[in-house]
Amino acid sequence: MKKILVVDDEKEIRELIKERLTQSDYAVMTASDGQEAVIIAEANQPDLILLDIAMPKMDGYQTSEKLRKDSKTKNIPILFLTGKDLGDHGIMEHCNSLGACGYIPKLSSLKELLEKIQEIVG
């Protein structure tokens, strides 16, 4: 069973995604901020991290940078979740420069999110 870490400061978003992924036979862990995400990722080695960009304490970009610098987590695929407009090419370029395997708007359907996840980890 593939393990996915869902990182978002909004509890409702985390729970909604967790419920849907669990129904699709993924093992799901959650974190409410970047600091917690780094600890969980190091300890559990998820197959994918769904990472919100806009979070307090440590945003998704900072979290990604920290994960990429750690030998235990540097190869874990990261899919950014964002409430921001992806028409802003700066966001896409920044995600790509951090080695993300993609990005998806939070307003996407759960079906679209699941399809993207399956594309990355199966």
Q: What confidence score (pLDDT) does residue 61 get?
A: 87
Of 106, 80, 82, 105, give the one whose Cα is nearest residue 95. Answer: 80
Pairing of strands 27-31, 48-52: unpaired
In order of their start, the domains of the chain are 3-121 (3.40.50.2300)
Q: What confidence score (pLDDT) does residue 103 get?
A: 72
Q: What confidence score (pLDDT) does residue 105 get?
A: 77
Q: Tell me the one-letter amino acid at 78.
A: I
Q: What confidence score (pLDDT) does residue 96 get?
A: 60
Q: What confidence score (pLDDT) does residue 76 get?
A: 95
pLDDT digits (tens, 9 = 90+) for 42-68: 999 999 999 998 888 898 889 999 999
Helices (H), ranges, 9-109: 11-23, 34-44, 60-69, 89-97
Phi, psi (deg, nearest 5) at residue 6: -100, 120
Q: What confidence score (pLDDT) does residue 54 get?
A: 86
Whether residue 36 contacts residue 9, with contact meaning beta carbons closer than 8 Å, is answered with: no
Of 41, 29, 42, give the one whose Cα is nearest residue 1. Answer: 29
Q: Tell me the one-letter amino acid at 91.
A: I
**Residues of the chain below pLDDT 70:** 84-101
What order of strands is seen across the sheet that includes strand 48-52? 27-31, 3-7, 48-52, 78-82, 102-105
